[in-house]
């Protein structure tokens, strides 16, 4: 992975992939109705930007033309639809983290339950490293759609590919749409396991040196997929 990956050109196929990811998020049970949103970085001619799901439309009804292309340079857009109300953090993450191409935002229930207590996910299980570090942080609360929320999210994502948002939900970012969706599902699964483990009291945590070993293995071999 390089810091400046080659970006796909805005296309019908790419737009379909964003819609498929949004629908898959709900089918996977990590989101309901229109709560979450999805974006992917791409180019349109010489302009860098991102395709993002629009606000106010059911994912099942989305057509490629409904997606909104936001210019990376100034966040401006054209076309008939308005971008998701969370376009600010999508834009800011795409600007700050060029290695992360796709972003999935959900209100998945177990992760959000933790986030409602302002709690992230500690290293209780080695797969926490799938998010890029020894823990998954929870960003402080700010009103949805605000610059403050975006600032908090970016800080919580430092050296990470996922974070929780207090009293709100989850952000998962990866090098592709399928990987971002898989990470969002992984974060929800980890949160569910953590809550279950907490039923017997706060579980012991893996030590820093073990999480460092796991992170090194993930970097070397790539992240384990299903069946690992």
Q: Which is catalytic among the residues 61, 86, 202, 210? A: 86
Q: Is-catalytic flag, 86?
A: yes
- Residue closer to Zn ion by CB (options 87, 124) is 87
Compute the least distance from the CB of residue 208 to Zn ion, in Å: 32
Q: By CB under 5 A, how many residues form the interface with Zn ion?
A: 1
Query: For residues 206 and 42, what is the distance between their CA atoms, to the nearest angstrom?
Result: 38
| 156 Rama sector, left if φ>0, alpha if ψ -120 to 50, beta otherwise | alpha
Which of the 8 DSSP states describes residue 77? Answer: B
Return the residues of window 142-171 that contact Zn ion according to CB under 5 A. Answer: 169
Compute the least distance from the CB of residue 86 to Zn ion, in Å: 6
Return the residues of window 169-198 that contact Zn ion according to CB under 5 A. Answer: 169
Max CA pair span of the chain: 56
Distance of CA 4 to the CA centre of its chain: 19
Compute the least distance from the CB of residue 186 to Zn ion, in Å: 19
Return the residues of window 107-136 that contact Zn ion according to CB under 5 A. Answer: none
Total number of residues shown for the chain: 228
Phi, psi of 95 (to 5 degrees): -70, -40
- Residue closer to Zn ion by CB (options 123, 169) is 169
Interaction site with Zn ion (CB under 5 A): 169
């Amino acid at each position: 992975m390089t810091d400046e990956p080659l970006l796909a050109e805005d296309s019908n196929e790419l737009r379909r992939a964003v819609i498929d990811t949004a629908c898959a998020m709900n089918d996977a049970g990590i989101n309901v109705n229109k709560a979450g949103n999805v974006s992917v970085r791409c180019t349109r001619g010489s302009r860098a930007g991102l395709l993002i799901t629009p606000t106010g439309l059911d994912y099942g009804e989305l057509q490629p033309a409904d997606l909104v292309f936001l210019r990376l340079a100034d966040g401006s857009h054209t076309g008939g639809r308005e971008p998701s109300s969370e376009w600010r953090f999508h834009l800011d993450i795409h600007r700050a983290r060029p290695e992360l191409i796709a972003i999935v935002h959900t209100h998945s229930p177990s992760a959000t339950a933790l986030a409602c207590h302002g709690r992230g996910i500690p290293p209780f299980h080695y797969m926490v490293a799938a998010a890029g570090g020894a823990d998954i942080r929870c960003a402080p609360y700010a009103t949805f759609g605000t610059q403050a929320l975006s600032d908090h999210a970016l800080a919580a994502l430092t050296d990470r590919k996922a974070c929780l948002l207090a009293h709100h939900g989850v952000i998962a970012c990866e090098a592709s749409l399928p990987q971002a969706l898989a990470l969002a599902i992984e974060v929800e699964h980890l949160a569910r396991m953590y809550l279950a483990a907490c039923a017997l009291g706060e579980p012991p945590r893996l030590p820093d040196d073990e999480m460092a070993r796991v992170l090194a293995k993930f970097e070397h071999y790539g992240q384990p997929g299903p069946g690992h």
